[in-house]
Amino acid sequence: MTEGTSEAGVKGFHARQVKRPRAQVEEQLRQAILHGTFKHGERLPSETELAHEFGISRPTLREALGSLASAGLIRRVPGVSGGNFVNGVTPDSLRRMLSESMNTILRLGSLDVDEVDQVRRLLEVPAARWAASNRSVADLIELKRTVELERAAVHDDPAAVANDLEFHELIGRSSGNRLLAAFVSAVHEVAHQIRVVDMNADVAGTTTSQHASILAAIEASDAAAAADLMSQHLDYVLNHSADSTDTEES
């Protein structure tokens, strides 16, 4: 045996780094949630019980729980009737986590508004193209309902923003790809928070007309037209909007 080679090394064994208690607890709880030991909506045992079960301090346990909350696996509800509850591991929970994370890093200045605009285009144009190929009758019904709500609303109706968000979310869902839908919805939700559209009567009317044209292309299964119209729509919206942070500073 040469110097520096142990018997264990010869047998193929390798030294493994021992995880810190927090990491061990986080991993075990994560696996319990993912394997269904704790069901969607179920409250985890109290922090006192968990700390005792794992043989760790409550501050260490809270670190592990905080990491799981950041990952979207649990939600922490304060108060006497609160606790740590298991989130549903679904595309919708992914959407919420993405939206919250993007909003946080935008506020911290670690993400540029223009980057959100660019990613929005990368997501929404293909989503419109795929929606034209994959939409169902139910999808068309929901899209038509949303466009009709937009037509009936006045330009300064507070519901206008919600209607616009719903239209784009429905495009994402109609794409037939739930992961893409989650990203479209999250990015569009954040875009609404950082982009202030000059929603006068003309802009509102044009936006609704563009939505109707995108819908018509999707209904006709014209993927190329749907993608092109969505690209034009995003150009128009960005040309009639301002970064909300710039608005606040001025």
Tens digit of each residue's pLDDT (9 = 90 or more) over 90-123: 677 677 778 888 878 877 777 788 888 899 999 9
Over the stretch 181-204, which tens digit does the pLDDT of each residue have? 999 998 988 887 777 677 778 888
3-state secondary structure of 76: strand
Structure confidence by residue, pLDDT tens digits, 1-17? 444 444 444 445 554 45
Question: Does domain 92-249 match CATH 1.20.120.530?
Answer: yes
| pLDDT-above-90 percentage for the chain | 45
pLDDT of res. 81: 81
**Which of 26, 18, 20, 21 shows the shortest CA–CA distance to 71?**
26
CB 168 within 8 A of CB 124: yes
- Rounded Cα distance between 116 and 216, Å, is 27
Average pLDDT of the chain? 84
Range list for CATH 1.20.120.530 in the chain: 92-249
Cβ neighbours of 249 (radius 10 Å)? 7
Point out the least confidently predicted range of 54-63, 206-215, 240-249: 240-249
pLDDT confidence of 231, banded at 50, 70, 90? Answer: very high
Structure letter (DSSP) for residue 83: E
CA distance 107 to 245: 9
CATH 1.10.10.10 segments of the chain: 13-86
pLDDT of residue 223: 98
13-86: CATH number: 1.10.10.10
Going by their DSSP bridges, the two strands 83-86 and 241-243 should be labelled as unpaired
Q: Per-residue confidence at 18, pLDDT binned at 50, 70, 90?
A: low
Q: Which residues contact 7 (CB under 8 A, 6 or more apart)?
A: 1
Q: What is the pLDDT of residue 161?
A: 79
What tens digit of pLDDT does each residue of 167-178 get? 999 999 999 999
Q: What is the DSSP letter of 89?
A: -
**Strand pairing partners for 182?**
none
